[in-house]
A and B are shown apart, each in its own frame.
Chain A
């Protein structure tokens, strides 16, 4: 029976929505109100209804005492494979890898999302509440996929069955050295794949009806792909483009202007060299802040100071951890960005509000503001500092169970003097 209850708690991480008041903490709203000392955050029915130092807890609210604590928005992982993988290597198929050539823009990764993945539990108890999940990442060098890999989705880490927040949040595209081998031996080929897709989608927008009647030439791309590209063409869905070399980034800026499409850069090792141009073109960058080595010739000028240079030029940046299993280390990435010249507030923003803005969900996520969904994390100290882990995490206004497969393993082996076989230590 005890086991059953533990299991129930483990999976049924959310309870009925209720009124919660987080009282007395230092609240970093990451919104217009900035940081508020000794503040109260009220969350009702999943949404934030009040924030301030002169707010009192409503009658009947569940009160969380945050005196002496730090309160922040939930962490937003801007690129990864959460819910799409358990074990990355030699352990079965990976749903974010598409072999063969059937699908491009219509490949919707949200259909593969598993809210019960062990990675979800491990990362959410360390403060990650939202994530962009992608069909292939810009950093998984060995994963074959496509120049146009498909549609990414915004998800939450509640574990609920309905935890997909936004399908089609970005179209994932690989250019530069990463794409060589996906489309042929040259980056010219991958650019042509992208141009052909956009050109055909434009043609389809005009001639789709004629095509359906059999009165138009065939397309190289499938109808489902061309349909999926329409919101990219009209600018409502951005392309998330993994690209590193300066010349490729300059080419991408020109391409976005030519087609009137929006882009987000993933990686962008040399993006800092054209920071002003990116700011002017309103192209955000997902920075890999620790990647300071020339790991290939596209990244000869990789620069540890890139986060600060980009941010100071006015480019919206978010930090992308290179490893999905440890999306929880985004706070460390942010902390490290502060020592190369980024402000603490900007660094926190880069793992909360900025990714929400980049993916068009900032009206309801990313900061502690009235009307937004109740993703709130309570920390015992500076959340960007090493070894500081959350004491409480709320997603959509509901406290998550502060337990994961890793904490269960840990607790089983904590007592070195135990003579009970591990399998009986529950």
Chain B
């Protein structure tokens, strides 16, 4: 994965950008304007620490300095640090949700707020989810109370190719630029199965079948490859570059490895077909989302290095979700593939730890041991990997962003809540001190404002 991201940084400039390694063709436009909130050195002592690297440390300390993890271990100290007694509590990396529609399908869910699906053509690679994000969605705040420090906001799944996703820090901003995760690659939303064929088939246009879906992807990639080749040729002095095309710019960014594919896909047989398409056109799929049947093709996922981002137990609400089982993520993990628990829900995002816990218990019944130090990776490290931000966050390692959650107990117990949440070392949420907590403009004058995030 790391090699892909490095390749992405190099490839970006092939597309004639210049300034920013993650701009994917837009120059400085829409670049992150996020600045971390002021932080003070903070030391949590004597906690049970899940590092996100696969370790559980008993009676351990976590030190945050200048917005970064300065040290994890025992007997730590730091002059002037705020010291928090973590005895009996647990510390984990900040939770990361790879599949959210906060801001693009915000609360209240009025028609005028419905900005997540550009349902005007089956291929809308030219749209960017970030241009729909409403920063005042109260759902950002409630997600923060669940320990979520970063998330990917995706377009919906009405289209074969729905557009670019954006990775955000879970911080209040006046604009999406003030929330954007610095230098994070863009995601690219694709969708298999029922949704595109229902939306467009219902209008009497393509695609109206799954085979129509596949033809639609392949046609788009053929045009993208041509565009990419023309650009590359022009770089080598052969011919002039094509007129800039927002749709093909995004698709070429995927082919160059600079934009990461996040593919809504439920059925095992369809995921297998999508892997073939990726091979045919030379791109990689960072993650299948929903992946309700990932357990049927876990070996293929391991082989291709593709993550599966799953719910714990959603099933049956549509035909392609009929074969959902509680053990899905555990079977994927056991096969050595990259398992992620995602939400796709403004409610689910508040309890990703609980979703993971339900899988752990189900797995135990059939002899698959998923210890806490593994399960935490489903909502931290592995999520960061699929978003291409695992160099910066997702684990508690020296030098990483100090995105940290202090839980008032085992995070995989229903009785536990996130007690404090730090983003880049700044205290962003405090269960016991509502004055710390953000209140969106929309929530002013409502109950949410009484206690801050609930």
Q: Which residues of A are interface residues toward B (Cβ below 8 A)?
A: 86-91, 118-119, 122, 290-297, 299-305, 323, 325-326, 328-329, 332, 335-336, 338-339, 384-389, 406-407, 409-411, 413-414, 416, 422
Chain B residue with Cβ nearest A296: B108
Is B210's beta carbon under 8 Å from chain A? no
Q: Roughly how many angstroms separate A119 CA and B364 CA in the complex, as a whole number? A: 23
A122-B315, A291-B347, A413-B296 known; 9 other A-B pairs, CB under 8 Å?
A86-B322, A88-B316, A90-B318, A293-B139, A295-B109, A297-B108, A336-B354, A387-B358, A410-B295
How long is the Cα–Cα vector from A81 to B405 in the complex, in angstroms?
Answer: 38
Q: Of the candidates A87, A305, A388, A416, which one forms a contact with B334 in the assembled complex, judged by CB atoms under 8 Å apart?
A: A416
- Interchain CB contact under 8 A, A293 and B362: no
**Which segment, of B81-89, B250-258, B407-415, faces chain A?**
B407-415
The one of A294, A299, A335 in contact with B415, judged by C-beta atoms closer than 8 angstroms, is: A335
Question: Which residues of B are found within 8 Å of A409, using beta-carbon distances?
Answer: 323, 325
Q: List 10 A-B contacts (CB under 8 A).
A: A87-B317, A89-B194, A89-B319, A293-B347, A300-B446, A300-B447, A336-B351, A336-B414, A410-B366, A413-B295
**B454 in contact (CB, < 8 A):** yes
Please tell me if the beta carbons of A326 and B313 are within 8 angstroms of each other in the complex.
Answer: yes
- In Å, the complex CA distance between A119 and B324 comes to 12
CB distance from A261 to the nearest CB of B (A): 30
CB distance from A135 to the nearest CB of B (A): 19
Q: Is the CB of B414 within 8 A of A384?
A: yes
Contact A386 B361 (CB under 8 A): yes
B113-155 interface mask toward A, CB cutoff 8 Å, 1 = contact, 0 = none? Answer: 0000000000000000000000000110010000000000000
Q: Which of these, B315, B347, B360, B447, contacts A325 with CB under 8 Å? A: B315
Q: Is the CB of B318 within 8 A of A422?
A: no
Q: Which secondary structure dominates where chain A touches chain B? A: loop
**Count of B interface residues, CB-CB < 8 Å:** 56
* Nearest residue, chain A, Cβ from B328: A410
Q: CB-CB < 8 A to B354: which residues of A?
A: 332, 336, 386
Which of A326, A416, A422 meets B331, CB within 8 Å?
Answer: A416
Checking A122, A299, A326, A385 against B413 with a beta-carbon cut-off of 8 angstroms, the contacting residue is A385
Q: Please name all residues of chain A whose beta carbon is closer than 8 Å to the beta carbon of B447 when the two chains form the complex.
A: 300-303
Within 337-351 of B, Cβ neighbours of A (below 8 Å) are at 346-347, 350-351
Complex contact B318–A389 (CB within 8 A): no
Interface residues of B (CB under 8 A from A): 107-110, 138-139, 142, 194, 198, 295-296, 298-299, 313-319, 321-327, 331, 334-335, 346-347, 350-351, 354, 357-362, 364-366, 412-417, 442-443, 446-448, 454
B446 with A301: CB separation less than 8 A: yes
Return chain B residues, CB-CB under 8 Å to A294.
107-108, 138, 442-443, 446, 448
Q: How far is the CA of A291 from the CA of B345 in the complex (A)?
A: 11
Inter-chain contacts of A305 with B (CB < 8 A): 454
Picked from A88, A89, A297, A387, the residue with its CB within 8 Å of the CB of B362 is A387
Which residue in chain B gives the minimum CB-CB distance to A325? B316
CA distance A336 to B298 in the complex (A): 32
List the B residue with the shortest CB-CB distance to A384: B414
Chain B residue, CB-CB nearest to A412? B296
Smallest CB-CB A-B distances: 10 pairs:
A387-B361, A335-B414, A386-B357, A301-B447, A325-B316, A89-B318, A304-B454, A293-B107, A88-B317, A410-B325
Q: Which of B295, B334, B350, B415 has the most CB of A within 10 A?
A: B415
In the assembled complex, the Cα of A413 lies from the Cα of B327 at a distance in Å of 10
Residues of A within 8 A of B362 (CB): 387, 389
Query: Could you tell me the distance between the alpha carbons of A362 and B351 in the complex, rounded to whole angstroms?
Result: 33
Chain B residues, CB < 8 A from A332? 354, 358, 414
Report B-chain residues with C-beta under 8 Å of the C-beta of A295.
Answer: 107-109, 346
Residue of A nearest to B315 (CB): A325
Q: Is the CB of A290 within 8 A of B347?
A: yes
Contact among A389, A413, A422 with B361 in the assembled complex (CB-CB below 8 Å) = A389
Give the nearest-CB partner of B414 in chain A.
Answer: A335
A86, A292, A387, A389: most-surrounded residue (chain B CB, <10 A): A387
Complex CA–CA separation, A386 to B110 (angstroms) = 33
> Which among B346, B347, B442 has the highest number of chain A CB atoms within 10 Å?
B347
A387 vs B138: C-alpha distance in the bound complex, in angstroms? Answer: 30
Residue of A nearest to B137 (CB): A293
Closest-CB distance, A392 to chain B (whole angstroms):
13
Bound CA–CA A290/B143 (angstroms): 12
User: A410 touching B327 by the CB < 8 A rule?
Assistant: yes
| Given known A-B contacts A296-B108, A303-B447, A335-B415, A326 and B314 have beta carbons under 8 A apart | yes
Q: Which residue of B has the minimal Cβ distance to A337?
A: B414
Contact (Cβ within 8 A) B296 A422: yes
Q: By CB atoms of chain B within 10 A, which of A297, A302, A385, A406 has the most?
A: A406
Chain A neighbourhood of B448, CB < 8 A: 294, 301
- Looking at A86, A300, A301, A338, the one whose CB has the most chain B CB atoms below 10 A away is A300
Residue of A nearest to B448 (CB): A294
Expressed in whole angstroms, the Cα–Cα distance for A303 and B449 within the complex equals: 11
Contact of A385 with B414 at beta-carbon distance under 8 Å, contacts A292-B142, A295-B107, A301-B446 already known: yes
Q: Which of B138, B317, B361, B366 contacts A89 (CB under 8 A)?
A: B317
Q: In the complex, which of the residues A91, A292, A387 contacts B318, with contact meaning CB atoms closer than 8 Å?
A: A91
CB-based contact A292/B299 at 8 Å:
no
Q: Measured between alpha carbons, how far is A2 from B443 in the docked complex, in Å?
A: 60
Q: How far is the CB of B146 from chain A (nearest CB, A)?
A: 11
Task: Given A296-B108, A305-B454, A384-B414, answer yes or no on A389-B365 (Cβ-Cβ < 8 Å).
Answer: yes
- C-alpha gap A88/B110 in the complex (Å): 23
